[in-house]
Structure 1
Amino acid sequence: MTQHGLFHLGGFSIEVNAAILITLLGVASCFDIKSRRIPNWLVAAGLVFSLGAHAFLGNGGFSAWALGLLVGFGLFLPLYVVRAMGAGDVKLMGMVGAFLGPASAAGAVLTTLVAGGVLAIAVALWSGALRNTLANVRSLMIQTMFRTLHGGSVRIEALPASAGKLPYAVAIAAGTFIHLLLIRSGHALFA
């Protein structure tokens, strides 16, 4: 352990908070892959730890914790409302925001959405469902456009042929990790 809560791992300094966040996201990913669920106790533990870290390590205090939680949760909530994402994914992104604070939470959401898109394409290619996936995306875009033009709901209807479900905790973990690397290298859009 060195000063300011940092430790060195193979010459690479990692903040203890970031290491715990990545560990929690790894565990959430394992649960999501295995059962397609993210346990509430895991998210709650992350929220408690991140609040303690903000309070005791001087990482912006309660306001940074609460605003980060709101940003992470709030930016994913519309995806839940239109049934494009599960509630566990929204809560998990809120936990990420609670760790990172508001500005960095927005950056983690952005990199997570990109990672999710790349992961979805990779899974579709791997499973041979790319044609189905592209047809579903096309159908969703057309349905949403017509409903919006006619004053209807933007809610996503069930598609006739699903291309499969993506364990989105994996995308959240990958996107958050990439965002932390971008912060470390000084290239993050939001830090």
Structure 2
Amino acid sequence: MSLQLLSLSFLAALLLAAVACDLHQRRIPNALVLYGMALGLAFQAFAAAGQGLLQDGSQGVAAALLGGVAGLALFLPFYALRMLGAGDVKLLAMVGVWLGATAVLQVALWTVLAGALLSLGVMLATGSLRTVGRNLRTLFTLASLRCASGATPQGTAATGRLPYGLAIAAGSGVEMARLLLSA
């Protein structure tokens, strides 16, 4: 087994653990994310010269840290808007450490798509699709009125919490499969 495949296997195991925690506890433990980041950095530090584990071909701890910062930066605005939890943001940063800055952008895009499908599935399963539609119409109307009057739009309270770690794992899995197939 190549070091790169071993690296992706470890990342997959970490993501599965994060999903299990998110589904059962509705949170992703900091210890899991920190362990995952440390392990990803260790893989980079001990990779042989020329054996770049990051998906963009770069190597080294600095490149892995850049991937982590990129993952953090991509989802931090959603945390600031109270659309995602801090654990979700940190989980994407962990994925960035393992895959690098270039691939984490793709992961974020796949994750948003997976999250939309997850949201739609939950709305259909709970019968709340019509209620969500009314809430969105009200939200956009109020935001438009506030903007027209010069007031700052305010956020609304969440109607439920999704285990978004599942969407991050799905997005990461799609990107890892794409990368393996293209190698």
TM-score bin, normalised by smaller chain: 0.7 to 0.9
Tell whether 2:16 aligns with 1:16. Answer: no
Residue in 2 aligned with 1:169? 165
Tell whether 2:39 aligns with 1:49. Answer: yes
* Structure 2: distance between partners of 1:152 and 1:55: 50
Residue in 1 aligned with 2:106? 107
Q: Between the two proteins, what is the percent identity of the paired residues? A: 38
* Structure 1: distance between partners of 2:76 and 2:66: 15
Shift of 1:144: 4.1
For each residue in 1:96-151, what CA deviation from the matched residue of structure 2 results, as whole angstroms up to 9, or x when unmatched? 11111000011101100110001110111111111122233333444444445555
* Stretches of structure 2 lacking an aligned partner (at least 5 in a row): 54-58
Residue in 2 aligned with 1:30? 20
For each residue in 1:62-101, what CA deviation from the matched residue of structure 2 results, as whole angstroms up to 9, or x when unmatched? 2211111011110100000011111111111110111110
Instruction: Give the aligned length.
Output: 174
Bigger mean CA offset, 93-102 vs 139-148 = 139-148
Tell whether 2:60 aligns with 1:61. Answer: yes
* Stretches of structure 1 lacking an aligned partner (at least 5 in a row): 7-14, 187-191
Decide whether aligned partners of structure 1 residues 140 and 23 sit closer, same or farther in structure 2, where only a CA change above 3 A counts: farther
8 Å CA contact retained: 1:116, 1:171: yes
Higher relative strand content: 1
8 Å CA contact retained: 1:21, 1:96: yes
Bigger mean CA offset, 130-139 vs 67-76 = 130-139
8 Å CA contact retained: 1:96, 1:105: yes
Residue in 1 aligned with 2:90? 91
Shift of 1:154: 5.4
TM-score when scaled to structure 1? 0.82
Decide whether aligned partners of structure 1 residues 107 and 131 sit closer, same or farther in structure 2, where only a CA change above 3 A counts: same
TM-score when scaled to structure 2? 0.86
Residue in 2 aligned with 1:9? none
